[in-house]
Structure 1
Amino acid sequence: MTNKQLVLQTDFGLGDGAVSAMYGVAKTISKDLFIADLTHEITPYNIWEASYRLYQTINYWPSGTVFVSVVDPGVGSTRKSVCALTKTGHYIITPDNGTLSHVARFFGLKEVRQINENTERLSHSAESHTFHGRDVYAYNGARLASQQIELSDLGTPLPVDQIETLELLEPQVADQTITGMIDILDIRFGSLWTNIPLEALKQLDISRGDTLVTTISHQGKEVYRNEIPFVRSFADVALNEPLIYINSLVKVGIALNQASFSQVHHIGTGNDWQVTLHKSR
């Protein structure tokens, strides 16, 4: 590992000093560290979002980069703290609460170590049990990124297949219909990002210019149905009109041109939100 890069993700927001404290701990470990923010705007306690944002991001950073992800509703409990080495060569320090789900599925994990929270932590922090982001995760992330320790120094190995994972549903193609789920939102613009890959559209000979019957259901109950054009970009439809496009991860997105699809139609994300697509007949 030659990169001295540390990337932080939390649900802390920037309204107080929590993130700055994590920066301070990391810089105290090594002034030479390059520290970047993935995001600190994960919806509070939303492990699914944390898992997806890592998947969205890590492969665009050099191998050897260390990620610290702290979305930790179980802080201070018996949940494990872990450091994972992905098959892409990235390190992720995080609670073992499902945050590694997407990365484990799509990139694979090579090794996982359970961090000893009693010994591998910031000096004089033993009586604090509610800020592991600073005392355990940023501290160890900085030590690993600055090459002061190796992965093997952090604790005992865990079987890769025994980490906590969230259920990730696979998209299905059958009877000229594609079924998937809404993975995440393009937060600022309110577009829906599904888990349906472009290849699934090609499998059904769907191409740009086609109109797709689009149904969105929540816990099995239909909440939206419309015929939507599959286009190249937002500019291909009128303002406030719906469109289907291919997003930056080469998967199906559903949007309104210059409006928030998720807000207008009250659509959420995760396993409970199913989307089906088929050509208009």
Structure 2
Amino acid sequence: MKSFLLGCVATVEKNRPYFAMLFIQFMYAGMALLSKAAISKGMSPYVFVVYRQAFASVALSPFAFFDSKQSAPLSCSLLCKLFLVSLVGLTASSNLYCVSINYTSATFAAAATNTVPAITFIMAALIRVESISIKRVHGLAKILGSVLSLAGAITFALVKGPSLGFMKWYPENQNHSSHLLTTVHSKVDIVRGSLMMLSANTAWSLWLILQGFVVKQYPAKFRLTAIQCLFSFMQSTVVAVAVERNNPSAWRLGWDIHLLSVAYCVRVYNLILHA
């Protein structure tokens, strides 16, 4: 038994990056489920993003403060770049994601996340950051993997399965079940939500590519992420105030699924950074 446990530990240690990636995918699935639950229960997707970015900024502040990888002070030029990168990769991506999840299912949201590597690879190849070699096995594997990933996302978007009755134990969902089913499963909303979700993933992929250039200029990753979350919080606040200006109750946050979803998403941010 002891040798078996030691063997398992050795296997996990040897394949740590792969296990970390699988764990992050599970966390992403939980984030999609809780985000869908909170927004379906009535939370504004724009306000959801504001709270998530605010909590993330606070949670990352201690790590940013003690980050030792600081090569030079932040310049005005770099801050402007971070503001624009945050606008694309965090603000636009998060708002599109949270709005689209109201029109699609949590299953599609979790599955569509797998298109990010494929979209990133395609965009990186177009701007010549990534090289493609169709004469080698790894080059063909990248192309085939990208095609299969995008094909799977399209299949999830177009193929409609039976309703699973997710989270019907909520009284609010029981009272409004017919309205929710009509909203989520109408063909127009599914296509609209799928396109918005793919747009969110495209913005996220662009953000990943831009991170490579920004990190080379300023290698303090925790500081960069905390600053971007802060910028995204300010940008998302402007968007949410503009959209929810006639609905002050949308900003109410109690001890319910809304707060749990926001806290969970912040926790996923931290885990991804540590992974």
With the length of structure 2 as denominator, give the TM-score of the two structures: 0.24
Structure scoring higher RCO (CA < 8 A, sep ≥ 6) equals 2
Which structure's residues are more often helix, by fraction? 2
With the length of structure 1 as denominator, give the TM-score of the two structures: 0.24
